[in-house]
Amino acid sequence: MTIGIIGLGLIGGSIAKECRRAGYKVLGADASEKHKEQAVDFDVVDEVMSVDDLVAASNVIGLCIPVDLIAEKIPLVLNKIKWNQVVFDVGSTKRGICEAVRDHVKRSRFIAAHPLAGTEFSGPKAAVFDLFKGKKNIICEEGLSDEDALRKVVDIFNLLGMQSLFMQADDHDKHMAYVSHLSHISAFTLSLTVLDIENDEKQIFNLASTGFESTVRLAKSNPKTWSSIFENNSEYLSTALGSYINHLSEFKRILDEGDKSKSIELMERANEIKRVLNGMSLNAIKLS
C-alpha cells in the first residue's frame, strides 16, 4: 500500500515516518520548497512530488495542512480520486471541515480525523517517532464514510499506536474549545502577563521551576497554526474564555475580600480534576 501525505509538518511528517517504519511506501507533497527539502534530508518520506502526482499514485491520502486550508482543499482532492482511494484529514477543528464536504459526491471516501498529539515544535524537522503512541484519535461523522475506507484509516492510526474514538463534529469542537484551545490561550496570556511585568528576564528564568514552566509551556506553540484553530472554533472558544474570565474574576474578588474559607472551597472543587485525570486507571486498579 502507498500512503500519500500532503503537508509535511510536525503531524504529517510524524505520520509519514511511522508509516515508512512499518514498511509502507510513503509519498509527500508540500507547498514549501524548504519543507520538501527537509522531508528528504530527514528521511521523512520516500519521495516528494506534486499534489497531482501524489494523489494519482497513493491508496490512502492524508491531508495534513493548516486547518484554515483543509475545508477548501478537501473537495479538490476528492474530485481527483477514484472510488477505491481514501482521503483523511487531521485538522484540530472538525465542524467546518465536515460541512465543507457533506454534499460532495465522494463524501463516503473521506474520513474526518483528529489525532490528539503534538509538541510545541513545527515543520518536517520536528517530525518524530512515537509522537502518537498511547494517545487518542477522534473520528467524526464516521457514519458518512464507507466501511472499507474507515477500516483503512483506523488501521493507520492503530499502527501509530492510537485508540480511535467516535464523536459528532460539533461535540468535538465544543469539547476541544474547553479542554484544549482554552489551555493554549491560558498559557499564551500567562506568558504575556509575566513578560509585561518582569523587566528582568533572568528572574523569570531563575523562578520558573515554581510551576510556571509547565503551566506556560503551550505559549511556545506556533502562532499561525493556533490563530487558524481559534478562528475556526471562535464561537465555542469565546464562550469558554468568557467562563474562564468569570472564574478568575470571582477568585480575585474572594482574594481581595480575604475570604480564605471560600478560596479553599474553590480549590477543593478544582482538585477534582485529579480524580478525573487519574480516575480511569484508579478504577481499573480497584476492580482488579
| Region 23-82 residues binding a copy of itself, contact defined as CB under 8 A | none
Q: At 174, list the grid cell.
A: 465544543
Applying CB under 8 A, the span of 43-51, 59-67, 150-158, 263-271 interacting with a copy of itself comes to: 263-271
149-188 residues in contact with a copy of itself (CB under 8 A) are 165, 175-176, 178-180, 182-188
Applying CB under 8 A, the span of 8-16, 77-85, 139-147, 250-258 interacting with a copy of itself comes to: 250-258
Provide, rounded to whole angstroms, the least separation between the CB of residue 222 and a copy of itself: 8
197-216 residues in contact with a copy of itself (CB under 8 A) are 197-198, 201-216
- The smaller minimum CB distance to a copy of itself, of residues 22 and 270, is found at 270
Q: At 192, list the grid cell.
A: 504575556
Provide, rounded to whole angstroms, the least separation between the CB of residue 69 and a copy of itself: 14
Provide, rounded to whole angstroms, the least separation between the CB of residue 93 and a copy of itself: 12
Write the burial class of residue 256 (CB in 10 Å: 0-12 exposed, 13-18 middle, 19+ buried). exposed
- The smaller minimum CB distance to a copy of itself, of residues 80 and 175, is found at 175
> What is the full DSSP assignment across 78-119?
HHH--TT-EEEE--S--HHHHHHHTT-TTGGGEEEEEE----
DSSP character at residue 109:
G
Provide, rounded to whole angstroms, the least separation between the CB of residue 275 and a copy of itself: 8
Cα–Cα distance measured from residue 193 to residue 269, given in angstroms and rounded to the nearest whole number: 26
Applying CB under 8 A, the span of 9-17, 48-56, 97-105, 222-230 interacting with a copy of itself comes to: 222-230
- The smaller minimum CB distance to a copy of itself, of residues 31 and 270, is found at 270
* Phi, psi of 91, rounded to the nearest 5 degrees: -65, 145
DSSP-based three-state secondary structure for 136? strand
274 counts as binding a copy of itself under rule CB under 8 A: yes
- DSSP-assigned beta bridge partners for residue 47: 27
DSSP-based three-state secondary structure for 127? coil
- The smaller minimum CB distance to a copy of itself, of residues 57 and 266, is found at 266
- The smaller minimum CB distance to a copy of itself, of residues 158 and 214, is found at 214
- The smaller minimum CB distance to a copy of itself, of residues 37 and 198, is found at 198
Q: Are 263 and 250 in contact (CB under 8 A)?
A: no
224-243 residues in contact with a copy of itself (CB under 8 A) are 224, 226-228, 230-231, 234, 237-238, 240-243
128 counts as binding a copy of itself under rule CB under 8 A: no
Q: How many CA atoms lie within 13 A of 25 on its CB side?
A: 9
Query: Among candidates 29, 33, 19, 170, which has minimal Cα distance to 97?
Result: 170
- The smaller minimum CB distance to a copy of itself, of residues 50 and 271, is found at 271
Helix, strand, coil shares, percent, the chain, to 5: 60, 10, 25
Q: At 187, list the grid cell.
A: 498559557
Helix 182-197 to helix 223-232 angle, to the nearest 10 degrees? 130
